[in-house]
Structure 1
């Protein structure tokens, strides 16, 4: 089994880059917050009580909770695409008598191997970030001056355990389908898309939607003096709603594409029609590309609008040390979430486009030119970005409305127009060039050989 694990990592290193980066971010983030908890716990009790604001322990706990949930979301997504790149090999293993348990062991082995590879870099970066973060907290009066990030290995080992647990849980989710279907069906599924979402997936999506709605209701009913609790409930609610979106993504993405695709079909009859047909015909693939964009826009938009709403609620007194520190904390949390979301977006879009080489080769064999394929991909990229932005904006709007209800009494939040435009622009910059540049490479090569499976 170890030889199979290492062989796949050596044969397809590019397929595991996104997973490695996601696990690295998870491990570095857990090391950062674990080191803060250890530093705060080792300091003298009177010093800890003298600081202003929540203190390092509370900040690390709240940030770490959000980071684990986002890391799980991103790692599941990255591992899912790593498995799609190996789908033929895993299907062939099933046809030569590999059991579902052995396939799952292979996937778990890959997760363990990659987690071990990124452990030392994650520890180094996380510890350095913890020292810098603690220094900034001390400068703002939110941590006692005597606290120090020690050289103890406990936070590192805990971070490794959490990152490994996240990866193994992701492997259980991502490997479920390929390990459970019949061997012959597994081989056939490697070149086709599953038609309908399962009942279990739809029920899970409905449960996540209910949970997210309850969290937003909880955020909306918090009193104004508990703005921090309302903000965390709203942020968690937005994340749970994004999970619901991921589970019900094929249905939502197909419906939005049908609406947005109409004007593009009119403007570009050839490329627009083909792009619209591709996106609606492969709803699961479209959902995989759209969800990371929605994650980026939803989390970034929620944090930006909540920060602006809190500043507006504070009024002219927002220049006080406490309010400026709150803004800084939200901006720091936003930066962390954007890193995870951006990694997920780029990895997903590159993987989704790269795996379509055989599809592009077949289109070339029936007469399509590379220029026509690139026009089709450009239209697809624009549609993907638009659908992702709309879904993410819907989640951000619901979450920020709940927060605004708690803080100001009105469901209409203060929207920072410039910041929101930057978020939309960032999502478009990650999406459109990512798809188009990957497509430039994917449409090249001998078409007949690619259709026949001679090259990957």
Structure 2
């Protein structure tokens, strides 16, 4: 049977494994179409229309927004693709044992990505065009865009958005399918049920490069002059994103220490379920990292944007000659809302996928004598630790980024931090994490344990 048909059959047979990937790709296509449409509106406008604005212009705003938003959306796509492949590990392992070559396995995953992109490209393009019209109208109401500009459905932004999603998705398949395609066929089935014990040296090296890049960007943000605060803000955001990418790459090592520190009280407070939760957190560092990273992404980006916006607003209120205006603050608030949307989608996708993939594990615990309530209490303890670790790591990234931005704005590395807003960010992370994990866990523990334990993981 052709590889393409096998790929499509797996998508039809296990649609839940591709829901997260589809949502991430939809956001990526919509985001790229949104900012591409704004750029097209500016470039095709009549001569001189862009001059009748109070602000940097639509092209500059679209570039500033799009630079971060597109990068974050593509990060979400890569993360979601990894879980789509992980959910198929057993099927891919079986293909390897019946003589499928590594190239065929990678081609199968690429076909799935291409199919997913083509499915969402239409709706994503429409959504992006509608969002572009809404954003342009908001800019026009504030005098930041010429009333002569208009967004019309254009083929080029849609094609560019689809092509970008295809390039990123197909490039990411080489990494996502690397483990299952490299190992010998006889070991494929065993590998599909276990976790790789070590983080590879290349991954660690790339992570260290990301840390160095993030540090350089934050230093650049801190040393920008007062008239370049927009560039300082962009550098701070890019620096925080680089540090979060580094966290994703080195997560199994980075998340293990705080999880171990938090796991010790669990064993004391709840000797039964607490011990199980701590053992699972220690024994599955990669799974812990996968759950922690999106929470850190949500807290890190949201915290950075919130503190930056508040710092800029305070500086503007304190100095009437400040280069930071109310429109700058509004733009940062809009960017914050968009980034929170992306981070929330990534968080829900990842946590649901990680928890639902443990169905067979929960069944084995029940066969060993654990009851459903005990399994759910164990999962609640794991969810609490995951939330706290993600908040701590994301908060550390946000603190570093906002310190750099605060140095550029006020000359002090202690930025103006809105306590209430930060509290809402932490609460939002908990609301997304705890119910998402527990709802997925309730689904995963359903059915007779013996039947689930004898089947696959999904």
Partner of 2:374: 372
Task: State the distance in 1 between where 2:197 and 2:277 align.
Answer: 19
Partner of 1:50: 52
* Cα 1:412–1:11 shift into 2, 3 Å: same
Output one character per residue of 1:372-414: Cα deviation in whole Å (capped at 9) or x when no partner.
1111111000000000000000000000000001111000000
For these two proteins, the number of residue pairs brought into alignment is: 456
Partner of 1:139: 141
Equivalent position SS for 1:413: coil
Listed as ranges, the matches of 1:60-209 within 5 Å are 60-209=62-211
> Tell me, which stretches of 5 or more residues in structure 1 are unaligned?
none
Task: State the distance in 2 between where 1:239 and 1:403 align.
Answer: 14
| TM-score, reference length from structure 2 | 0.97
Query: Contact (CA 8 Å) 2:90, 2:456: kept in 1 or not?
Result: no
Partner of 1:242: 244
Q: 2:448 aligns with which of 424, 446, 449?
A: 446
Listed as ranges, the matches of 1:356-435 within 5 Å are 356-435=358-437
Task: State the distance in 1 between where 2:223 and 2:357 align.
Answer: 46
* Cα 1:25–1:454 shift into 2, 3 Å: closer
| TM-score, reference length from structure 1 | 0.97
Output one character per residue of 1:148-171: Cα deviation in whole Å (capped at 9) or x when no partner.
112321111111111222212222
CA RMSD of aligned residues (A): 1.6
Pair 1:259 & 2:261 matched: yes
Query: Contact (CA 8 Å) 2:312, 2:324: kept in 1 or not?
Result: no
Output one character per residue of 1:14-56: Cα deviation in whole Å (capped at 9) or x when no partner.
1000000000000011111011000000113322133222211
Deviates more, 1:144-153 or 1:311-320: 311-320
> Tell me, which stretches of 5 or more residues in structure 2 are unaligned?
none
Pair 1:301 & 2:299 matched: no
Task: State the distance in 2 between where 1:44 and 1:399 align.
Answer: 40
Output one character per residue of 1:102-121: Cα deviation in whole Å (capped at 9) or x when no partner.
11111111111011111111
Output one character per residue of 1:239-260: Cα deviation in whole Å (capped at 9) or x when no partner.
0000000111011111001111
Query: Contact (CA 8 Å) 2:31, 2:73: kept in 1 or not?
Result: no
Partner of 2:233: 231
* Cα 1:54–1:449 shift into 2, 3 Å: same
Query: Contact (CA 8 Å) 2:359, 2:457: kept in 1 or not?
Result: no
1:315 positional shift: 2.2
1:173 positional shift: 2.1
1:235 positional shift: 0.2
Equivalent position SS for 2:377: helix
Query: Contact (CA 8 Å) 1:72, 1:170: kept in 2 or not?
Result: no
Query: Contact (CA 8 Å) 2:315, 2:324: kept in 1 or not?
Result: no
Task: State the distance in 1 between where 2:14 and 2:198 align.
Answer: 29
